[in-house]
């Protein structure tokens, strides 16, 4: 039985599940609004939520997609007992999570949210080209029109920034220096790109897509600023073997077996930008007819 940890209405999860059904593979999908109790039945550990119940030992594979598997914690009147039982429960939960992560899996709950700054350091270590970057609280070292700013956090989305609105931070070129100081921010050399490349990594296999947006000013810096009138052209692409090998080393060093990696091609160089382990990839997959939802379902 395959365990899928995801969120409600997550479209990629649904697409993979359709493939699993076609392959006659059993699965359980769990959501962010589920909280599990850990119990035993005849010496076997059983996990129960309001909508799912399964034995730990019947899980053959785990796909960590998004969200998290959450557990109930008992509280006790006596504070000393409560502290002690907190620890007991901690080890029990850890045992369950580690057991799940020890099974055949695609990504893990514990490390799927990667730290952009650490990833860039690792990328340099494995020999990938990385555009120069620095952290700063002012724009003293910023060269106007040659430096970009982007978020340090994994998601560029600010939920409910005002009533009924979410904010999204796009990667932008600094066109004018700000005089004042600000919260420590991530700056990077702007690379004149030929085009962008999005590579999907799944267990040593790499499926790359060239994202051609150069002809169109609107999408020049960040391809997510999608122009629907003349959409970007997304076509199959094969990175040079040595770049693919370095991707493999990087993913290993981060203990990730699945994720999307962004590159910029500039002349004969491939600049690595970032990894997103839980990003959307079906758009690229469909454009290139890669059938990645099927590849994931087949692996699980």
Instruction: Tell me which residues touch other proteins (CB under 8 A).
Output: 18-19, 21-22, 210, 212, 215, 230-231, 233-240, 286-291, 294
CB atoms within 10 A of CB 36: 20
- Least distance to other proteins from the beta carbon of 138, Å? 40
Q: Which residue number, 88 or 230, has a Cβ lying nearer to other proteins?
A: 230
Q: Which two tokens stand for residue 91?
A: 């080890």
Rounded distance, CA 63 to CA 2, Å?
8
Rounded distance, CA 270 to CA 263, Å?
6
Rounded distance, CA 255 to CA 239, Å?
22
Q: Which residue number, 22 or 117, has a Cβ lying nearer to other proteins?
A: 22
| CA 151 to centroid of chain Cα atoms | 15
- Least distance to other proteins from the beta carbon of 226, Å? 13
Q: Which residue number, 18 or 204, has a Cβ lying nearer to other proteins?
A: 18
Q: Which residue number, 123 or 210, has a Cβ lying nearer to other proteins?
A: 210
Rounded distance, CA 1 to CA 158, Å?
36
- Least distance to other proteins from the beta carbon of 126, Å? 20
Q: Which residue number, 87 or 217, has a Cβ lying nearer to other proteins?
A: 217
- Least distance to other proteins from the beta carbon of 105, Å? 23
Task: Please report, for residues 135, 297, 299, the alpha-carbon distance to residue 18 in angstroms, rounded to integers and kept in the order given.
Answer: 44, 9, 14
- Least distance to other proteins from the beta carbon of 243, Å? 10
């Amino acid at each position: 039985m395959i365990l899928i940890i995801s969120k409600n209405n997550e479209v990629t999860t649904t697409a993979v599940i359709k493939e699993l059904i076609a392959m006659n593979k059993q699965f359980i999908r769990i959501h962010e609004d589920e909280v599990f109790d850990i119990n035993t039945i005849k010496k076997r550990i059983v996990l129960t939520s309001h909508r799912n119940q399964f034995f730990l030992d019947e899980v053959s594979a785990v796909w960590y997609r998004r969200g998290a598997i959450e557990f109930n914690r008992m509280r006790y009147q006596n504070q000393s007992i409560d502290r002690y039982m907190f620890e007991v429960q901690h080890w029990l939960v850890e045992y369950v999570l580690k057991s799940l992560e020890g099974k055949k899996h695609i990504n893990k709950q514990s490390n799927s949210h990667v730290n952009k700054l650490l990833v860039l350091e690792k990328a340099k270590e494995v020999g990938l080209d990385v555009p120069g970057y620095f952290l700063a609280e002012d724009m003293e070292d910023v060269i106007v029109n040659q430096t970009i700013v982007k978020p340090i956090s994994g998601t560029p989305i600010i939920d409910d920034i005002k009533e009924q609105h979410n904010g999204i931070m796009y990667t932008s070129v600094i066109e004018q220096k700000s005089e004042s100081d600000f919260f420590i921010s991530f700056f990077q050399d702007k690379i004149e790109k030929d085009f962008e490349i999005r590579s999907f990594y799944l267990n040593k296999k790499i499926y790359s897509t060239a994202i051609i947006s150069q002809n169109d000013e609107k999408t020049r810096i960040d391809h997510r600023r999608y122009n629907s009138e003349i959409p970007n052209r997304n076509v199959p692409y094969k990175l040079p073997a040595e770049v693919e090998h370095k991707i493999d080393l990087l993913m290993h060093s981060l203990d990730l077996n699945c994720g999307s990696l962004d590159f910029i091609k500039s002349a004969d160089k491939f600049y690595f930008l970032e990894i997103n382990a839980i990003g959307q990839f079906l758009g690229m997959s469909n454009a290139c007819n890669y059938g990645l939802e099927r590849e994931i379902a087949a692996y699980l």
